[in-house]
Amino acid sequence: MTAPTPSDTAAAFERHDHSHCAGAVMQAAEGRARAEGLRLTPVRRRVLEILLEEHRALGAYDILDRLKAEGFGHQPPVAYRALDFLVEHGLAHRIRRLNAFAACMHPDTDHAPAFFICAQCSAVAESAATPLRDAAQAAGLAIGFTIERVTIEAIGTCPACHPGTAPSPQVPS
């Protein structure tokens, strides 16, 4: 059970060895799939891999283009179904502000994530949001509302895109 730390989250905005972190996450995802009897079929696995390779939020049709090119089905439901599966089982997240999807970077943690989206370079970092979820829970309680899930998406500027800081955005998009 590796809980995400602030430095994990910060790492998402820094240059790092994608293939390494992607590999680790993929292994964790496979472990979870085995443990819970999820069927990580070729399409689903490939979609997760694509998300991990890109290491950013991708639209369903971006994914679909890749799938087509690799000989999978070429109609929208192919992508949406795989994405729905991944999201439902916590292996990917939907980023509503972007109408896009990103691989979950902590699939072995039961977490309530928040997302930090850079308006400049559209990099996305996923962060544990337990305090935020608790605050929301409390606010809900005060008005008699029972919360199932909370979407928390912050838009702003990532460290790499701050003027006077690191020069070039990591994900030009």
Partner DNA sequence: TTGCGAAGTGTTATAATAGTACATTTCGCA
Partner DNA sequence: TGCGAAATGTACTATTATAACACTTCGCAA
Is 73 a residue that touches DNA (CB under 7 A)? yes
Is 70 a residue that touches DNA (CB under 7 A)? no
- The secondary structure element, H or E, covering residue 172 is none
Q: Which of 10, 21, 87, 171 binds a copy of itself (CB under 8 A)?
A: 10
CA 168 to chain centroid: 23
Nearest to 44 by CA among 88, 87, 83: 83
Distance CA 159, CA 118 (A): 9
Q: Burial code of 51-89, b = ≥16 C-beta within 10 A, e = fewer?
A: bbebbbbbebebbbebbeeeebeeeeebbeebbbbbeeb
Nearest to 51 by CA among 63, 38, 64: 63
Q: Which of 99, 130, 165, 173 binds DNA (CB under 7 A)?
A: 99
Q: Which of 75, 130, 165, 173 binds DNA (CB under 7 A)?
A: 75
Shortest gap between Cβ of 143 and a copy of itself (angstroms)? Answer: 4
Q: Which of 23, 31, 77, 131 binds DNA (CB under 7 A)?
A: 77
Is 60 a residue that touches DNA (CB under 7 A)? yes
Is 82 a residue that touches DNA (CB under 7 A)? yes
Beta bridge pairs of residue 89 = none
Residue count of the chain, please give it. Answer: 173
Is 112 a residue that touches a copy of itself (CB under 8 A)? no
Residues 35-54 that bind DNA (CB under 7 A): 39, 41-44
Q: Which of 156, 170, 172, 173 binds a copy of itself (CB under 8 A)?
A: 156
Pick from DNA, a copy of itself, none: which does 169 bind, CB < 5 to 8 A by kind?
Answer: none
Q: Using CB under 7 A, list all residues that contact DNA.
A: 39, 41-44, 59-61, 72-78, 80-82, 85, 99-100
